[in-house]
Chains A and B, each alone.
Chain A
Amino acid sequence: MNLGTRKLFDRAFTALGFGSIAIMGMMLIIVLAPIVSKGVSAIVFRSTVEHRKMLYSEFHRGNRVSLEKEIAASDAARRPVYEMLSEFEAELGLMDEDKQQEYKAKLDQVRTAIKALLGPLPGESEPALTRFKYGQNRWEKAEEKLKELVYEKQWDYSNPDIAAKEYFVSRATAFEGTSLVRLFPYVEKNIDKMLLPEWTFYWGFITDSSVDSHIFGGIWPEIQGTFFLALGAMLFAFPLGVIAAIYFTEYAREGFITSLLRSANSTLAGVPSIVFGLFGLAFFINTLKVSESKSVLAGSLTLAIMILPTIIRAAEEAILSVPKTYREASLGLGSTKWNTIVTVILPAALPGILTGGVISLGRAAGETAPIIFTAAVSVGSAIGLADVFSSPTPALSWNIYNLASEHEAAAEIRHVQYGMVFALISIVLMLNLSAIVLRARISKKLKG
């Protein structure tokens, strides 16, 4: 090959490497960007008067006087809607049978759409489920519901070769010639007066418990459960891991037992997370019976054995990176081996050990599969510290799955799901970031 081609190959190779790194960076951005942007909108959003009503009656927060003023203003704007509805009902009574049938179904659709938008109609009995007591809490959701009220979604099956396409028909055309036709332009024009949107910073999303399985309210029980599980796992795994690392680095003599233990460590690191869940169920719950059924304790123990290898490896590395001179100086001063370890080596290695601990804490907080069978429940309130031995807890990781895949109104509460993912990712990444910073400072310090 001539020199030009070789050079070209070299350039192309470099470009390929940079390309793959760039793709990895892009992956991170592609995954994080929507989660962060939509996750923030779970906390900062345009709330409607319905949201403030909900806050006042469910959490007793808000200014009563101004809220009453707002309710009065919004009711005044809503009154014509309800009047138009009852006017049309009266008109319906005068029509002949066929027309009545035809309009009745359509009227029911309109009523449902209005209820979804503004909450229960006046004169109706109080709904049993909290989710039906209030109209749309969030302005962007209200706009969606408004579209559902004004336009009817229909499917186009005309082309049998492709999947059916949806298209929208204005509902007003269906009520042409009746008194209800005025309702649609009125609602469209006055929707902001009916719902009074304003920008809100809803800090309660972090600190409130959920109302009616996450339709309203916040995610505090999940955050607390995640902390309990992760900290519990650390409580078991951290001391064990550090002591094991001390043994491996300071006392172990190369031989069969040591290599066996090391193999066991890497085997444990490679066990699939779902198998930890199975093991936790079979061992901690069904055999040891640490609790009657799922509990925070069982979940923490399961998570602890999962993060143990990571902690051991990090602690080993940290202890090995302590300069030899430290050790020799201490021994030279006449200290015993154990004394050297406790007073000289461990303090010097502590930041490194903590880095590993922090990363493992993040892993324990984010892991889902081991806690499915051992600790997690879908709905529940925050548990007290005394209940950790007996009761299961909701946790961020599990509830993200549950809300996104199994919740009956999963599409309605996307903002809660995004908020939860955002909360989980920020907890985990914050821990990792602090570990990265910590490590950078250590390496600077050890270099001198």
Chain B
Amino acid sequence: MIMSGEELSSQGRSSAFVVSARQRKWQKISKTAGESTLLLIASFVAIIVFFIFFFVTRDAVPYFQIRGFKEFFTSTNWYPADDPPGFGALAIIYGSLMVTVGSALIAIPMGITAAICLSDVIPFSVRQYVKPVIEMLAAIPSVAFGFFALVILAPLLQNFGGTILMWTWWVIVSPFLLLAIIVASELLSAKVSDEKKRKRLHTFLSVVLGIIALGLLFFVGNKLQRIEILTGTNALNVSIILSFMALPTIVSVSEDALQAVGRDLREGSYALGATRAETIVKTILPAASSGILAAVILGIMRALGETMVVWMASGNSSHIPSPWFNYLESVRTLTATIAGDMGEADQVTGSARFHVLFAMGLLLLVISFICNFISERIIVRQRKVLSGQ
């Protein structure tokens, strides 16, 4: 007689060799009950997500009933305490967008290069020490970053802003310019067939391009140094700190994506004679691109949803900077507005002033839901493609 594991085990416990029908029924019932209890507890997460959407929406709807949609999305007048009040959130939405884009501009290139370096360049023994560093960066509480931005970075920017900008420009741009000069002179002189002439042209081009590049460095550097930053609590400050916070997410998720590409693609590329850089840029990055995109989306989400840093260090002034890309002005974001205005609005629960904050929360919630959904789809699809299904 062939018995299933289930039956065997129940026999093992009970002394009788034969299981009665009643016992069997009882076992079945308890098994079903147990599994459904587990399912119930597991679906708790889904219930919570539903509740979050429901309760935030429930408190956001009254605002739109009272004031309609138009003002919220088109006006920049944010005077919730005045009479008559103004609830124009356009400048606030723009502020959120601005710091998110700013932090993305810093975090994405750095995060992706760091992820590439982690997965393909540095040896395993070093990696063991680098990963904890990234985890620690991720673990530092946001309020500590906010404190750093407010108490240390903001005064620095305010007092030595121009000099800091100039040095950042020098440090970041000069290696790239150097590389560009070498490559450009190499490429431009490659067509000359005579070896002697070619060498002479090469030297000449390097010198000329070098002088031009130095001039550019000095010119822009000088311009930057002359910039006076009027307030240290501005969009630039926040963008820098938010990029610190988005980096760990971007690095770890895109490293996973790069690892998922597998050895065979890499080895195939090396076998064709490609260098490591060529392998990475031409083979691995395209294969992992969708996973990296997902990482970028998740990283941006962290920056968009972050509260404490922007509340403490963005200056909280609700206006669109002029010109619109001026990162040296104070801004105000959705998250900071919710956090900052609730204290006063809470006393007048039920007014538009209270519900408008929930409308902002709903906006954040919807954006984060969409981004999450997209990144999840992307990751699932990439996994399928890479596993060859």
A binding-site residues for B, Cβ under 8 Å: 1-2, 4-10, 12-21, 23-25, 27-28, 31-32, 34-35, 162-163, 240, 243-244, 246-248, 251-252, 257, 260-261, 263-279, 281-283, 286-287, 305, 308-309, 312, 331, 334-339, 359, 362-363, 365-369, 372-373, 397-398, 400-401, 404-405, 414, 417, 421, 424-425, 428-429, 432-433, 436
Contact = CB atoms under 8 A, between A and B. Distances in A.
A13 B276 contact: yes
Interface in B99-146: 109-111, 113-114, 116-118, 121-122, 130, 132-137, 139-146
Contacts of B150: 404-405
17 contacts: A9-B183, A17-B114, A18-B117, A21-B117, A24-B137, A25-B130, A25-B133, A240-B41, A261-B45, A264-B48, A268-B52, A274-B307, A368-B307, A372-B339, A405-B312, A414-B151, A436-B132
Contacts of B140: 31-32, 366, 425, 428-429
A17 B143 contact: no
B114 A272 contact: no
Contact of A282 (B175, B305, B358): B358
B34 interface: yes
B137 A278 contact: no
A340 to B, nearest CB: 9
B84 interface: no
A397 B34 contact: no
Nearest to A16: B113
A367 B141 CA distance: 6
Contacts of A252: 42
A262 to B, nearest CB: 9
A334 B48 CA distance: 38
Contacts of B357: 278
A125 B365 CA distance: 57
Given A366-B143, A369-B339, A424-B141, 20 more contacts: A6-B275, A20-B111, A20-B117, A24-B110, A247-B39, A261-B42, A264-B46, A264-B48, A264-B49, A270-B372, A271-B52, A272-B307, A274-B335, A275-B305, A278-B338, A335-B9, A398-B143, A401-B308, A428-B140, A433-B136
A32 B137 CA distance: 10
Contacts of A260: 46
B121 A17 contact: yes
Contacts of B134: 24
Given A5-B183, A272-B368, A397-B141, A244 B45 contact: yes
Does more than half of chain B's interface fall in helix, strand or loop, or is it mixed?
Answer: helix
B364 A282 contact: no
A144 to B, nearest CB: 16
Interface of B: 5-6, 8-13, 34-35, 38-39, 41-46, 48-49, 51-52, 55-56, 58-59, 109-111, 113-114, 116-118, 121-122, 130, 132-137, 139-148, 150-152, 175, 179, 182-183, 186-187, 190, 228, 230, 244, 247, 251, 275-278, 280-281, 298, 301, 304-308, 311-312, 335, 338-339, 342, 346, 349, 357-358, 361, 364-365, 368-369, 371-373, 376
A327 B152 CA distance: 54
A282 B9 contact: no
A402 B135 CA distance: 27
B14 to A, nearest CB: 11
A2 B186 contact: yes
Name the residue among A251, A270, A359, A373 with the largest chain B CB count within 10 angstroms.
A270
A212 to B, nearest CB: 22
A1 B273 CA distance: 13
B372 A282 contact: no
Nearest to A304: B48
B151 to A, nearest CB: 6
B42 to A, nearest CB: 4
Given A240-B41, A266-B372, A6 B278 contact: yes
Nearest to A432: B139
A342 B334 CA distance: 46
A265 B143 contact: no
B377 to A, nearest CB: 10
A109 to B, nearest CB: 26
B373 A17 contact: no
Contacts of A20: 109-111, 113-114, 117
B110 A244 contact: no
A10 B52 contact: no
Contact of A272 (B59, B136, B304): B304
Nearest to A286: B349
Contact of B41 (A247, A273, A278): A247
B275 to A, nearest CB: 4
B104 to A, nearest CB: 15
Contacts of B41: 240, 243-244, 247
Nearest to B139: A432
Nearest to B126: A21
A267 B182 CA distance: 48
Contacts of A359: 139
B116 A274 contact: no
A337 B38 CA distance: 14
Contacts of A267: 49, 369, 372-373
A286 B364 CA distance: 21
A248 B368 CA distance: 24
Contacts of B12: 334-335
A345 to B, nearest CB: 14
B139 A428 contact: yes
A257 B226 CA distance: 60
B146 A401 contact: yes
Contact of B373 (A14, A263, A283): A263
Given A20-B117, A424-B141, A28 B133 contact: yes
Nearest to A398: B143
Give 3 closest A-B pairs by Cβ, nearest first.
A272-B305, A366-B141, A17-B117
B277 to A, nearest CB: 4
Contacts of B365: 271-272, 275
B147 A417 contact: yes
